[in-house]
């Protein structure tokens, strides 16, 4: 990220020990305090957004889901009745 593209500014209030810890981590990585904070806040933001907007199925769950998509079960009587009520209420 180049400096020319940075047009927004934000502020954060830190406890003294938080600031010292973040400064130490930035030095260890060879980054300025600002660059360290921006880089890590952006990484955390990306992970948070991903965790709230997508989900991953593993193992048996993935297999069951894929099979349900490829071979969907027939609608039950309750589902058919619910669809009929919905269409009636929606004026269809």
Per the structure, the complete domain to which residue 43 belongs is given by 14-53
Residue 4 forms part of a structural domain:
no
Residue 7 forms part of a structural domain:
no
Residue 9 forms part of a structural domain:
no
Total domain count, the chain: 2
34 and 64 share one domain: no
64 and 48 share one domain: no
Tens digit of each residue's pLDDT (9 = 90 or more) over 10-43: 999 999 999 999 999 999 999 999 999 999 999 9
Decide if 29 contacts 38 (C-beta within 8 A).
Answer: no
45 and 19 share one domain: yes
Separation between Cα atoms, residue 70 and residue 21, nearest integer Å: 52
pLDDT at 2 over 70: no
Per-residue DSSP letters for the chain?
Answer: --GGG----------HHHHHHHHHHHHHHT--HHHHHHHHHHHHHHHHHHHHH-----HHHHHHHHHHHHSPPPPPHHHHHHHHHHHHHTT-
């Amino acid at each position: 990220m180049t400096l020319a593209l940075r047009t927004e500014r934000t502020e954060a209030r830190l406890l003294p020990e938080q600031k010292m810890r973040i400064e130490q981590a930035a030095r260890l990585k060879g980054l300025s305090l600002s660059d360290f904070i921006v880089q890590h806040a952006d990484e955390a933001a990306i992970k948070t957004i991903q965790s709230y907007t997508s989900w991953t199925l593993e193992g048996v769950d993935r297999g069951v889901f894929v099979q349900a998509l490829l071979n969907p079960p027939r609608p039950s009587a309750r589902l058919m009745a619910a669809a009929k009520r919905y269409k009636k209420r929606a004026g269809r």
